[in-house]
Structure 1
Amino acid sequence: MKAKNAETPDSSSAAEIFKWVVTFALLAAAVVGNHLYSDMSVVIRAAGVIVLIAAALGVAALTVKGKAAISFAQESRMEIRKVVWPSRQETMQTTLIVLAVSVVMALVLWGIDGIMVRLVAFATGI
Structure 2
Amino acid sequence: MASSDVQTVSSGADKAKLGLAVALVLGGFVAFYLLGGRGALAQWGALIVALAAGIAVFAVSESGKQLIAFGRDSWKEVKKVVWPARKEAMQMTAYVFVFVVVMAIFLWLTDKTLEWVFYDLILRWR
Q: How far apart are 1:75 and its partner, in Å?
A: 0.3
1:21-68 CA-to-partner distances (Å, cap 9, x unmatched) read 221221122011101111233244223312211111111112221111
In the other structure, the counterpart of 2:121 is: 122
The SS at the match of 1:39 is helix
- Structure number with the bigger relative contact order (C-alpha 8 A, sep ≥ 6) is 1
Equivalent-residue separation in structure 1 for 2:71 and 2:112 (angstroms):
52
In the other structure, the counterpart of 1:26 is: 24
- Consecutive unaligned residues of structure 1, counting only runs of 5 or more, are 1-8
Q: How far apart are 1:71 and its partner, in Å?
A: 0.8
The SS at the match of 2:71 is helix
Distance 1:26 1:88, change over 3 A: same
Aligned counterpart in structure 2 of residue 74 of structure 1, from 72, 82, 93: 72
TM-score scaled by length of structure 2: 0.81
Aligned counterpart in structure 2 of residue 97 of structure 1, from 95, 98, 103: 95
Q: How far apart are 1:104 and its partner, in Å?
A: 1.0
Aligned counterpart in structure 2 of residue 16 of structure 1, from 14, 28, 50: 14
1:49-99 CA-to-partner distances (Å, cap 9, x unmatched) read 122111111111122211111111110011111111222222222111111
Equivalent-residue separation in structure 1 for 2:84 and 2:39 (angstroms):
47
Task: State the Cα RMSD in Å.
Answer: 1.8
Percent of counterpart pairs with the same letter? 33
Equivalent-residue separation in structure 2 for 1:101 and 1:122 (angstroms):
31
Q: Count how many residue pairs are aligned between Structure 1 and Structure 2.
A: 116
Runs of 4+ aligned structure 1 residues displaced above 4 Å come to none
